[in-house]
C-alpha cells in the first residue's frame, strides 16, 4: 500500500514518486524509467513515437506522459482503480549507482541510492558500474 506523489519536474514535466511508508516517515522512490509491457499502443500514441522506441518511458517525465500521469494523480492510492502496482516475478540482477542530475546535493549526490535493472534498455542513463 502507498500513494503517488506527483510533482512538476523543473516546471515542465510531471514526475512521480511512490510513497510507501506510514504518514510522517519519509520513504519515497522516484520512478525514473519503466519497461512498458502492456498498453504499448496507447503509450506510443501519447509519446508520438513507435512502440519499439527506447525513449517511450526512459525518463521520469517521459514515463509520466506515456502513462498519462498528471497532477490530478497526486495522492492517488497505489492499489486503486486508476493507478495500481502489482507484484511481478524477479527478472534480473539489480544494480546501484549514484542518482542522476542532483549535483546540487553536495556529498549526497555520490550516495548509491539509484537502483535499476542491469541490462534493461529502458534505464534512462546508463550507469558506470
What are the pLDDT digits (tens) for 34-65? Answer: 999 899 999 999 999 999 999 999 999 999 99
Q: Is residue 84 part of a domain?
A: yes
Indicate whether 104 belongs to any domain. no
CATH code for the domain in which residue 57 is found: 3.10.300.10
Q: How far is CA 58 from the centre of its chain?
A: 8
In this prediction, residue 73 carries a pLDDT of 96
Query: How far apart are alpha carbons 77 and 63 in whole angstroms?
Result: 18
Distance CA 56, CA 71 (A): 20
Is residue 117 in some structural domain? no
Mean pLDDT check: name the lowest of 71-80, 85-94, 120-129: 120-129
Residue 66, domain extent: 3-92
Is 124 a domain residue? no
98 lies in a domain? no
pLDDT of residue 128: 60
pLDDT at residue 80 tops 60? yes
How many domains would you assign to the chain? Answer: 1
Average pLDDT over residues 100-110: 88
pLDDT at 129: 53
> Could you report the per-residue pLDDT of 107-119, keeping only the tens digit for each?
999 899 888 888 8
**Rounded Cα distance, 101 and 63, in Å:** 17
The answer to the question of residue 106 being in a domain is: no
Q: Is the pLDDT of residue 12 over 60?
A: yes
| Predicted local distance difference test score (pLDDT) of residue 23 | 79
**pTM of the shown model:** 0.82
Is there a domain that residue 122 lies in?
no
Query: In sequence order, which residues have a C-beta less than 8 Å from that of residue 123 and are 6 or more positions away?
Result: 33, 58, 116, 117
Determine what percent of the chain is predicted with pLDDT higher than 90: 50
Cα angle, residue 18 at apex, residues 14 and 19 outer, rounded to 5°: 125
In a domain, 74, yes or no: yes
Amino acid at each position: 500500500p502507498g500513494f503517488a506523489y506527483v510533482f512538476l519536474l523543473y516546471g515542465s514535466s510531471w514526475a512521480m514518486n511512490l510513497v510507501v511508508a506510514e504518514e510522517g516517515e519519509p520513504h519515497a522512490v522516484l520512478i525514473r524509467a519503466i519497461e512498458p509491457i502492456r498498453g504499448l499502443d496507447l503509450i506510443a500514441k501519447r509519446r508520438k513515437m513507435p512502440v519499439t522506441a527506447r525513449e517511450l518511458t526512459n525518463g521520469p517525465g517521459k514515463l509520466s506522459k506515456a502513462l498519462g500521469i498528471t497532477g490530478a494523480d497526486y495522492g492517488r492510492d497505489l492499489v486503486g482503480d486508476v493507478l495500481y502496482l502489482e507484484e511481478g516475478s524477479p527478472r534480473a540482477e539489480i544494480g546501484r549507482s549514484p542518482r542522476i542530475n542532483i549535483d546540487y546535493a553536495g556529498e549526497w549526490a555520490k550516495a548509491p541510492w539509484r537502483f535499476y535493472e542491469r541490462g534493461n534498455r529502458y534505464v534512462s542513463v546508463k550507469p558506470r558500474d
